[in-house]
Chain A
Amino acid sequence: QVTLRESGPALVKPTQTLTLTCTVSGFSLSTSAMCVTWIRQPPGKALEWLARIDWDDDKYYSTSLKTRLTISKDTSKNQVVLTMTNMDPMDTATYYCARMGYGSGSYPDYWGQGTLVTVSS
């Protein structure tokens, strides 16, 4: 079955770079029209879309965060990596990765359980 699992540090200091890994199973990152997306949610607040990477390595980013985000994948390891530079306490959130299809109308159908990242000195 399809599963996604996020991993990374639970605590980072302000100005540090965050690296999160999404390890997937049950599907291949190289399969045509397969994409992985990252979404975050600050405590008690709404969902915020961050980035998407497609099977053909096309990448898309949040307008407000694109200067700080990099998404990449390692197909051989079934992993998608999200890095976010210059972390701030406002970036404290639960970070989710999710699988989605390609094109308008696609949607995240399988989600990881999320990983809480706290930014504090």
Chain B
Amino acid sequence: DIQMTQSPSSLSASVGDTVTITCRASQSSSNYLNWYQQKPGKAPKVLIYAASNLQSGVPSRFSGSGSGTDFTLTISSLQPEDFATYYCQQSYNTPYTFGQGTKLEIK
């Protein structure tokens, strides 16, 4: 199985800041890496698919990059609604695996 490691596990930031979350795969997942946002009591929502493609309807302040084993999610100009938990997931092959999550909190 491909293991996904996210860092940091938690992050404090202010509205207007730019933050970066990283995700490392234990072996190459090509560019088949997705990012999700989850708010309390809600299902996850896909933000970025295939490493760098913005899901329809997602604000352009979200961006993704990377390939192989190292990936990043960047959120520019943080908005109040962005404070949530973020997960990466590889969809290169089954079993699909998720990172352990990054909780983004308001400073």
Contacts and interface: CB of A to CB of B under 8 A. Distances in A.
Interface of A: 37, 46-49, 52, 60-63, 96, 98, 104-109, 111-114
A46 B42 CA distance: 13
Contacts of B49: 105, 107
B50 A113 contact: no
Contacts, number: 60
Interface size class of B (residues with CB under 8 A): 20 to 34
Given A47-B89, A105-B49, A105-B50, A52 B94 contact: yes
Interface in B14-68: 30-32, 34, 36, 38, 42-46, 49-50, 55
A104 B99 contact: no
Contacts of A46: 87, 98-101
A62 B1 CA distance: 9
A90 B89 CA distance: 22
A107 B58 CA distance: 15
Given A63-B1, A104-B30, A113 B43 contact: yes
Chain B facing A: main interface SS? loop
Contact of B46 (A60, A105, A109, A112): A109
Contact of A47 (B1, B44, B50): B44
A52 B93 CA distance: 12
Given A105-B49, A108-B46, A114-B43, A62 B89 contact: no
A48 B49 CA distance: 18
28 contacts: A46-B87, A46-B99, A47-B36, A47-B87, A47-B89, A48-B98, A49-B89, A49-B96, A49-B98, A52-B96, A60-B95, A61-B94, A61-B95, A62-B95, A96-B44, A98-B43, A104-B91, A104-B92, A105-B31, A105-B32, A105-B50, A105-B91, A105-B92, A107-B46, A107-B50, A108-B44, A109-B55, A113-B43
